[in-house]
Structure 1
Amino acid sequence: MESTSMQAFRLRRAAHALAAGGVIAHPADGVWGLAADAYDAVAVDRILTLKQRDVSRGLIVIAADPAHLAPLVAPDAGSAWQRAVASWPAAVTWLLPARANAPYWLTGRHDRIALRQPAHALTRALCASFGGPLVSTSANVSGRPPVRSTWTARAQFGPYIEQVLAGAPDSPGVPSTIRDAVTNEVIRG
């Protein structure tokens, strides 16, 4: 088990790498993720390239504090936003109406944006240490199974990213539920 001071050091190092435009791998609620500063188009493009994923699909954005996600949500989201916030922190990603000026690399071709305040303690600590929203998408090449261990994350992505945060998902192999915050419909369960 890692000491608290060592974990704090690794989180500070990861936050610094993210702030400098880096990409990191981290355990999340259900699967391993690749993370980057949500507002850094170049860093997000690195993730899309690693995953071989089309930008038009959009990405999940996470934060430790819903206030960091609020600027991405349409001002008239009202009860949909309240529904999402009331459920967090949780392994539930909500599709919310996106603010008109939300970055295209986050929304893709959609008028909604996928947001989550994660339940995973290390992921929340990473977000808090960074101090803003992060893209966090499954650590895998599109269409292939996600990474399931620290070792596999290092083997697959280590040469191409700045850091791998050691740890394990809370519910290994079970990706977050995705719900539409307007209709409350389950999109991915």
Structure 2
Amino acid sequence: MTAAFEACIQAVQRGGVIAYPTEAVYGLGCDPAQLAAVQRVLTLKQRPAHKGLILIAADFDQLAPYLLPLDSVTHARVMATWPGAVTWILPAQPHVSPLIRGEHDTLAVRVSAHPTCRALCLRLGHPLISTSANLSTLPPARDAQAVAAQFGTLLDGIVDAPVGGQAQPTEIRQGLTGEIVRFS
């Protein structure tokens, strides 16, 4: 990986906030275990904490500590779409901070197929917070230059790589029912 990629890894490890490409748009992210960084993501984006955030991961094992055990039907439904561009809303462990899950007892999670997302999570050894890289009033950034234009030097790093082929942000589904909450 590049020196800029490694600098972003180090920034996350130090509690920083970075931007990186996802399946359709750039995301803002940090280490979910560092709640000051999670709060900073919410502040930068001007996103109310009650809405909650997404966790992305390289594999299900990285998400398991944040989730209650899934029944076999739900597990099979979810795993059939991963890695991929489907975000699932699943029951959260009680210890997951409201800064991450919002006012819900569930958590939005995705095992990404995007190579940069996967590489970040694999290198870090844990999931990343993920929310679209934009101020809440503006459209999501689709390249590093648009991220820099919106956030300037407020971020600790930007991974400059292409977004995936999705035209819209990922589909979101209710894990227990399979119901689509947001279409991609």
TM-score by length of 2: 0.93
Contact conserved, 1:14 with 1:163, CA < 8 A, in 2? yes
CA displacement at 1:77 relative to structure 2 = 4.6
| Unmatched runs of 5 consecutive residues or more in structure 1 | 1-6
Partner of 1:46: 40
Partner of 1:86: 80
Partner of 1:162: 156
Partner of 1:4: none
Partner of 2:143: 149
- Helix, strand or coil for the counterpart of 1:136? strand
CA displacement at 1:172 relative to structure 2 = 5.2
Stretch moving more, 166-175 or 98-107:
166-175
| Unmatched runs of 5 consecutive residues or more in structure 2 | none
Partner of 2:111: 117
Are 1:133 and 2:127 counterparts?
Answer: yes
Which residue identity lines up with residue 141 of structure 1 in the other structure? L
Stretch moving more, 69-78 or 24-33:
69-78
Which residue identity lines up with residue 161 of structure 1 in the other structure? L
Stretch moving more, 167-176 or 130-139:
167-176
Contact conserved, 2:53 with 2:101, CA < 8 A, in 1? yes
Q: Tell me: CA distance 1:10–1:129, structure 2 relative to 1, closer, same or farther (3 Å).
A: farther
Q: Tell me: CA distance 1:157–1:131, structure 2 relative to 1, closer, same or farther (3 Å).
A: same
- Helix, strand or coil for the counterpart of 1:13? helix
Which residue identity lines up with residue 137 of structure 2 in the other structure? G
Stretch moving more, 143-152 or 129-138:
143-152
> Cα RMSD between the aligned structures?
1.4
Which residue identity lines up with residue 100 of structure 1 in the other structure? P
Would you say how many aligned residue pairs link Structure 1 and Structure 2? 183
Q: Tell me: CA distance 1:65–1:103, structure 2 relative to 1, closer, same or farther (3 Å).
A: same
CA displacement at 1:121 relative to structure 2 = 0.7
Contact conserved, 2:59 with 2:83, CA < 8 A, in 1? no
Q: Among the aligned pairs, what percent are the same residue?
A: 41
Stretch moving more, 10-19 or 51-60:
10-19
Partner of 1:55: 49
Stretch moving more, 98-107 or 35-44:
98-107
Which residue identity lines up with residue 84 of structure 1 in the other structure? V
Specify which structure has the higher proportion of helix. 1
Partner of 2:93: 99
Q: Distance in 2 between matches of 1:63 and 1:23?
A: 16
TM-score by length of 1: 0.91
CA displacement at 1:86 relative to structure 2 = 3.0
Q: Distance in 2 between matches of 1:128 and 1:93?
A: 19
Stretch moving more, 91-100 or 149-158:
149-158
